Structure 1
């Protein structure tokens, strides 16, 4: 059972994992250095623990203790109990969902481990917005995709904002980072996947046509700004577009992923 530890001092060193959550660069450095990530909200905290991640500690207002009592009963990690006003001082924002947890990161699996048994995967190149990464994981999980591969410069799926938007899908969807960018798509072809890139290229065909007849599908999506690099666009086996109304050429990458996943899952 987690030890309930009342806290009255916002400078208490035991709260170090939870400080300055709005400072993205600081948090990326701190979380990487200490091998941790944060989960926010009752549902996400529960899914993280149920997903097998080891808690370092919890931080919550007293009113959340009962709702997460069964989760707290599974661990010896400390649970820091403090007022919502004090929690805001520590974290730098109003913790309206009332509960946070700091959990240990796991070593990332190999690409081969993530792809084993997978039939439909998402491949992300330089998607740098944490909200978009979280939404992509949520859509992929909901619409039947099996795994996610991220290029080295993609945003961290375990950053608090990504975890929150994904509603815990990052805990259940197998994922890893690609160790090499340049030949990542040819390597997927060699592994038996048909790579289909969402792009506005001149030879792009409607996504329904691009995925038709594909057995193992790797759906490739690019960054929020310029989309896919020329290398990835050209090294994909097929190029696809989501047909849309005249005068509008694209969707937000997370929205485009949801549409393409829906089509791809029904090929």
Structure 2
């Protein structure tokens, strides 16, 4: 396999990895180039195990040895490696997790394919923080959620930080974008799902009450960090649900709320 030592951070061959800490740059380049970045040895492994195709690898010498079996599976894919200081200058951060891979972004399945056979689904409405998206998907995987749907304005689950926080579970849980939203709530209802939105609004039932109802097919909707569910979404829901809280605490971070909800409804 081609292994190329990188000594110059400005080398055009590693342009996919340049300035990965610049959020606006990554938002512009990754979807346009049909790629995403997998970071760390374990995440690179999970991406490959999920059937995703690498464009190239970038790593230090230690990771090249640790991932030798993965690299051997792609003899036509270039492996770029270099000293830690060169890699840090190139990417903008210390590569303490050892390895990066520029991966070909797979085509997203349609909603019907993701929902086929699913009994419990999470929907992320306009969640803009990549850390929250990654944490929510990790909780979904841990608690046996069958699928995740993200709305058009939701942050990209294949953004580097989201993948890292999810510990690569974004490759395990089937997911896709649902559009148009919230009109597509009707698609879920037609498929037999009770659509329940997590909200702090008055008149909501408690999470305990939702669990007692014991719905065969349940879609759980989580709103944006600042404003929660949109009004248009709330008007289409079958259930509005709140998590009972104590000691004057009035809300939870959306990632924490999702973990509680997934555990309670498992």
**Shorter-chain TM-score: which interval?**
over 0.9
Shift of residue 37 of structure 1? Answer: 0.2
Deviation for aligned residue 1:96: 1.1
Paired position in structure 1 for 2:52: 53
Shift of 1:184: 2.1
Q: How far 1:231 moved relative to its partner? A: 1.2
- Match for residue 132 of structure 1? 132
Q: Does 1:88 align with 2:88?
A: yes
1:223 aligns with: 224
- In the other structure, the counterpart of 2:258 is 257
Query: How many residue pairs get matched?
Result: 264
1:144 corresponds to: 144
Between the aligned partners of 1:80 and 1:263, the Cα distance in structure 2 is 46
CA deviations 1:24-77 (Å, max 9, x no partner) are 111111111110000111110110111100000000000111211111111021
Match of 2:22 in 1: 23
Superposition pairs for residues 96-175 of structure 1, below 5 Å?
96-175=96-175
Distance in structure 1 (CA, Å) of the matches to 2:124 and 2:243:
17
Q: Secondary structure at the match of 1:200?
A: coil
State the alpha-carbon separation in 2 of the partners of residues 52 and 148 from structure 1: 19
CA distance in 2 between counterparts of 1:64 and 1:104 reads: 21
- Residues 189-213 of structure 1 show CA distances to partners (whole Å, capped at 9, x for unaligned) of 1111001111012111111211332
Instruction: Give CA-to-partner distance per residue, 1:110-134, whole Å, 9 cap, x none.
Output: 0001100101100111000000000
CA contact (8 A) 1:210 1:239 kept: no
What's the C-alpha RMSD, in Å, of the aligned pairs? Answer: 0.9
Q: Displacement of 1:264 after TM fit?
A: 1.0
Q: Secondary structure at the match of 1:58?
A: strand
Answering whether residue 189 of structure 2 is matched by residue 189 of structure 1, we say yes
Paired position in structure 1 for 2:43: 44
Task: Name 2:215's counterpart in structure 1.
Answer: 214
Greater mean alpha carbon deviation, residues 170-179 or residues 127-136: 170-179
- Aligned equivalents of 1:33, 1:239: Cα separation in 2: 38
3-state SS of the aligned residue for 2:263? helix
SS in 2 for 1:247: coil
1-side partners of 2:132 and 2:26: how far apart? 18
- Equivalent pair of 1:186/1:236 in contact (CA under 8 Å): no
TM-score, structure 1 normalization: 0.97
Give the gaps of 5 or more residues in structure 1.
none
Distance of 2:180 and 2:162 partners within structure 1? 23
| Counterpart Cα distance in 1 of 2:178 and 2:2 | 39
Partner of 1:3: 2
Cα drift, residue 182 of structure 1 = 3.0
SS in 2 for 1:65: helix
CA distance in 1, matches of 2:185, 2:50: 30
Equivalent residue of 1:121, what SS?
Answer: strand
Aligned to 1:70: 69
Q: CA deviation at 1:185?
A: 1.6
1:246 positional shift? 3.6
